[in-house]
């Protein structure tokens, strides 16, 4: 390795230092395509009683925990601003590199609108100078908001084209935003070299997103045959986040302050969600790993992998979805997700077989990012080792 990149691969190579990997498996750095690093739990009352700036210190902890299990790159699906991204890049915080969306675009009354029947408004991510508000209605407001988010540093634009599980006032099966509004968003993103990801759970909202050229469907709970065919035709990605409804159900059972309707929705969609992913995988839809961490605890991201395998994906296919496929979705396919000369030296040393997906997180021994050994036996080091 030199200058943070892999120089050569093989045996008997000459290097300044040698790392003994006997009895282990070497993987590329893992990638999670859907996290919320400023969110640590979905207990609304806990969030309400914490100071505004507390979320940024939580983000530091969440980033560290994510890195420790071998995830060296994440796409933040709303919450992280440019300051958090730059703090990681400058070495102020240990963590995976971030691709950020800044905030999620939603319509009035849509998933992401924090309005409650009481009249109070409690959004998941409060706006601040680095995280502009993103509640919009109509093509003109969509255009302005897209431009504002890009100005704030968004590398991808996230939009909610359906309702969701965590928002008590809407239904995951109902679509949000018209094709005309979504067309404007995709055009604005494309003009600035960006793409769009869609929170999309219901069938009609999924199809609306695919038809206008949105790059990835996040969640994809209610996929029918036509939606799957459209994804294949448009080469649309699916980021399943199978563990997300599981974590909502767990939180409800643990006593989190969640409306009964939220837990009920999670219970209703869990098996439907798995069946949709099973059918999409069998049809050959492009799949990349994502967890919606923040809904569940950060550092447990790899729980997603056995769930993907339970949907018919082989362990090898799951690992591809978590490495090279995820890198391609994020636009990093020429420098991340593979162990090859010229690629960034993001590496994970795993004890035993990496195909043991249930035990993968506990088997991580070392994590390297850009040629620096940042985790050694689960402990961050901050030490650069040239090999």
Q: How confident is the model at residue 47 (pLDDT cuts 50, 70, 90)?
A: confident
Angstrom distances, CA of residue 74 to CA of 146, 279, 287, 374: 21, 26, 15, 16
Mean pLDDT of the chain: 93
Parallel, antiparallel, or unpaired for β 364-369 and 286-287?
Answer: unpaired
For residue range 192-202, what is the model confidence (pLDDT) as tens digits?
Answer: 999 999 999 99
Beta bridge partners of 258: none
The CATH homologous superfamily to which domain 28-346 belongs is: Metal-dependent hydrolases (3.20.20.140)
Count each helix (H run) and each strand (E run) in the chain, helices first. Answer: 12, 14
Between CA 174 and CA 220 the distance in angstroms is: 13
Strand (E) positions, 228-288? 237-239, 286-287
For residue range 145-172, what is the model confidence (pLDDT) as tens digits?
Answer: 999 999 999 999 999 999 988 777 778 8
DSSP string for 155-194: SSEEEE-B--SS-TTS-TTSB-S-HHHHHHHHHHHHHTT-
Q: Which residues are catalytic?
A: 158, 292
Angstrom distances, CA of residue 205 to CA of 229, 329, 355: 15, 20, 35
For residue range 364-380, what is the model confidence (pLDDT) as tens digits?
Answer: 999 999 999 999 975 66
């Amino acid at each position: 390795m030199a200058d943070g990149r892999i120089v050569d691969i093989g045996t008997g190579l000459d290097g300044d230092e040698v790392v003994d990997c006997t009895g282990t498996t070497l993987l590329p750095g893992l990638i999670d395509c859907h996290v919320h690093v400023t969110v640590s739990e979905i207990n609304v009352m806990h969030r309400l009683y914490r100071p505004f700036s507390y979320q940024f210190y939580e983000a530091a902890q969440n980033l560290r925990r994510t890195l420790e299990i071998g995830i060296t790159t994440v796409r933040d699906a709303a919450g992280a601003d440019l300051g958090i991204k730059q703090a990681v890049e400058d070495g102020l915080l240990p963590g995976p590199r971030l691709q950020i969306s800044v905030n999620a675009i939603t319509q009035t009354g849509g998933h992401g609108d924090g309005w409650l029947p009481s009249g109070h408004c409690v959004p998941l991510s409060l706006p601040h100078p680095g995280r502009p508000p993103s509640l919009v209605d109509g093509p003109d407001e969509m255009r302005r908001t897209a431009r504002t988010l890009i100005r704030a540093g968004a590398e991808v634009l996230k939009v909610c084209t359906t309702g969701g599980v965590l928002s008590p006032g809407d239904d995951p099966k109902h679509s949000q935003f018209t094709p005309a509004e979504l067309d404007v968003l995709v055009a604005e993103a494309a003009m600035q070299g960006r793409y769009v990801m869609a929170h999309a759970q219901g069938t009609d909202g999924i199809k609306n997103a695919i038809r206008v050229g949105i790059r990835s469907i996040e969640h994809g709970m209610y996929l029918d045959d036509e939606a799957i065919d459209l994804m294949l035709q448009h080469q649309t990605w699916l980021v399943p986040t199978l563990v997300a409804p599981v974590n909502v159900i767990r939180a409800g059972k643990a006593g989190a302050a969640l409306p009964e309707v939220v837990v009920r929705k999670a219970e209703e969609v869990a098996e439907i969600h798995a069946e949709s992913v099973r059918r999409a995988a069998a049809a050959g839809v492009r799949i990349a790993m994502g967890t919606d961490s923040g809904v569940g605890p950060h550092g447990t991201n790899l729980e997603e992998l056995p769930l993907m395998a339970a949907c018919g994906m082989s362990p090898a296919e799951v690992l591809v979805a978590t490495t090279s496929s995820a890198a391609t979705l994020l636009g990093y396919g020429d420098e991340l997700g593979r162990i090859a000369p010229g690629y960034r030296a993001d590496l994970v040393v795993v004890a035993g077989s990496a195909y043991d997906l249930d035990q993968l997180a506990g088997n991580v021994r070392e994590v390297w990012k850009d040629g620096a050994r940042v985790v050694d036996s689960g402990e961050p080091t901050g030490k650069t080792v040239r090999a």
